[in-house]
Amino acid sequence: MNQHLNRNGTDVNMVKHTFDEMVNLARKIVNERIERFDANNCQNLIDFWIKESSGPNAEYFRLKHLPKNIAALLMDATDPSSGLLYHCLHLMALHRNIQQKVCDEIDCAIGNDGLFSFSDRERLPYTQAVICEVKRFICDLPLFPHVNR
């Protein structure tokens, strides 16, 4: 698996650079919407966010978070499963012991050349736990700032 990852980090840098460009573009769009904002004529997510940022739930709708949330939505929402797969592969490449346990469990439950089906997930508790932990770790679609209360 490691041979498929770029060891010098250029892929990660490219993704970060693209994300930063999207944040800057989203920031320009948000600023334009703020200038033309009409609380009685909300037309899209940005308008509703601006409206909520001055309402009773303002602490959850801070304008400084909006550009990053828009960029994350655009980058991840196009295909969340590919984003999850990317993060799973990346994190397992960093944690070889977890990668080995997942491979061993799949080999034992499915076999080396077996075909997966949806019902096989019940026989892969460790793999399921790893996927759940990756989803928790990456927070793949952070639409709103979140806190535990």
pLDDT bracket for residue 121 (50, 70, 90): confident
**Structural domain of residue 15, as residue ranges?**
1-78
- Residue in 107, 111, 103, 102 with CA at minimum distance from that of residue 134: 102
Examine the domain organization and report whether 47 and 113 are in the same domain. Answer: no
Examine the domain organization and report whether 3 and 74 are in the same domain. Answer: yes
Examine the domain organization and report whether 118 and 98 are in the same domain. Answer: yes
Examine the domain organization and report whether 104 and 140 are in the same domain. Answer: yes
Examine the domain organization and report whether 68 and 134 are in the same domain. Answer: no
Examine the domain organization and report whether 65 and 85 are in the same domain. Answer: no
Examine the domain organization and report whether 67 and 88 are in the same domain. Answer: no
Question: Residue 47 pLDDT more than 60?
Answer: yes
d(CA 99, CA 101): 6
Examine the domain organization and report whether 63 and 92 are in the same domain. Answer: no
Contacts with 122 (C-beta within 8 Å, 6 or more apart), sequence order: none
Question: Residue 101 pLDDT more than 70?
Answer: yes
Contacts with 92 (C-beta within 8 Å, 6 or more apart), sequence order: 1, 98, 99, 102, 130
Last residue of some domain: 29, 49, 78?
Answer: 78
Q: For the purposes of burial, counting CB atoms within 10 Å of the CB of 120, is it exposed (0-12), middle (13-18) or buried (19 or more)?
A: middle
pLDDT in tens, 70-85: 888 777 655 667 778 8
Examine the domain organization and report whether 3 and 73 are in the same domain. Answer: yes
Last residue of some domain: 40, 61, 78?
Answer: 78
The predicted pLDDT at position 69 comes to: 86
Examine the domain organization and report whether 5 and 41 are in the same domain. Answer: yes
pLDDT bracket for residue 128 (50, 70, 90): very high
Examine the domain organization and report whether 48 and 36 are in the same domain. Answer: yes
Question: Residue 86 pLDDT more than 70?
Answer: yes
Last residue of some domain: 62, 78, 94?
Answer: 78
